[in-house]
Chains A and B, each alone.
Chain A
Amino acid sequence: MQERIPILQMGRVLLVTIQVDMHDRLALQLQDDLTNKISESGAKGVLIDISSLEMVDSFIGRVLANISSMASVLDAKTVVVGMQPAVAITLVELGLSLNGVLTALNVMKGMKLLERE
């Protein structure tokens, strides 16, 4: 059985909590699962909680940006919440400022942001 990141559905929002070290295959798997789930459920919002993620590389950063673009093609807004300072600094230094991705400090604020959108 392949390792997967669970996707929870809460009303019209999909909640993804990343609590393990992201490796490349896992990230691609998530991208796959999430796009399927969005079209299946007709969700209007995706909330990705990365507060436990302590390290990122350029690949993971790009996958996050891609997930957001794909979700918006499927008419769902993506909010990335709880990014750690070190992760944010790394992404900026890598030149990935994730333009177009919504961000929030924590899940609660992310939910509010999605409701407003």
Chain B
Amino acid sequence: MSSSVLATVISNGQEDLLKEWVQQQLQAEGMRRDLIKVEELTAQSREFLQRFQGAVGSGDLLNIRSMGWSPVLESIGELSRQRGRMGFTPTETALFVLSLKAPLTRLLREAHKDDPIKFIEEITVVGELLDKLGLFTMEVFLQSREEVIIRQQEDMLELSTPVVKLWDGIVALPIIGTLDSARTSVVMESLLQRIVETGSEIAIIDITGVPTVDTLVAQHLLKTVAAARLMGADCIISGIRPQIAQTMVHLAIDLSAVTTKATLAEALKTALQRNGMKVVSSSAV
């Protein structure tokens, strides 16, 4: 059967195949010689080739999801993830498997010198197999990229909601970026938590960094204010830009129940006043 022929061909010409394959990879257009050393590439290729040979020997050539292929998939998965992290492009990553096609074809051609029909049969199977492995490489590559994106999103969620203490009994929450439901809940939780921790009676929510306010964002803001009020803290919303003030009125968003100030400085002044304090210049004392 073809699988055994292929396995024999590979095991007979393994060193040649490896050399030629690595050469092929190094010569490929856009190969990142700066990102990976030749020794490392050779080691990776050798390991892959060994597992590949084992898998070919196990029989099933067209179903790479079968048991025999799992070591191969594992090895490509690891390689693909690693390259994704190192900054290889998708093409460069896929080329690892796909560039095996040429040297393998040459080996098969030598093995079937006098049987062109057999050669064509074999080459069709090998082509299909390597294409499947290439696709699998891409799949893992994209998956690892997506994982990175998701992690970064989570990090940003955490980073972008610091609650700062401005004075005894006054905390401020500068919001930067658009508020959506997921962010609002994180913002709300961290604000309320800080209110409890610091025993602050006044919380200033500064929305200078919020690019647009629509009905949904306003609703989220009002929810936060209501929750803070339930706990016994007053909220002041500051940093409403003229453009946003206009939008809010056009959208008929009612903020009359909330104290609003144009700037954070104004809000702080009001907060200090409520706590019975006043800022005066030192010469006036």
- A contact residues vs B (CB 8 Å cutoff): 80-85, 87-89, 91-93, 97-98, 103-106, 109-110
Contacts and interface: CB of A to CB of B under 8 A. Distances in A.
Interface size range on B against A: 10 to 19
A92 B192 contact: no
B201 A89 contact: no
Interface string B162-198: 0000000000000000000000010011001101100
B189 A89 contact: yes
Contacts, number: 56
A88 B230 contact: yes
Contacts of A87: 230
B233 interface: yes
Contact of A98 (B193, B201, B230, B233): B230
8 contacts: A85-B193, A88-B227, A88-B231, A93-B223, A97-B226, A103-B229, A103-B231, A106-B232
Given A91-B230, A92-B226, 15 more contacts: A81-B232, A82-B232, A83-B230, A84-B231, A85-B196, A88-B227, A89-B188, A89-B227, A92-B223, A93-B223, A97-B226, A105-B196, A105-B199, A105-B200, A109-B201
Contacts of B193: 85
Q: Which 9 A-B pairs have the closest CB atoms?
A: A85-B192, A104-B232, A103-B232, A88-B227, A88-B230, A105-B232, A97-B226, A92-B227, A83-B231
Interface of B: 185, 188-189, 192-193, 195-196, 199-201, 223, 226-233
A78 B226 CA distance: 18
A97 B195 CA distance: 18
Contacts of A85: 189, 192-193, 195-196, 227, 231
B119 to A, nearest CB: 69
Given A81-B232, A89-B188, A89-B189, A105 B227 contact: no
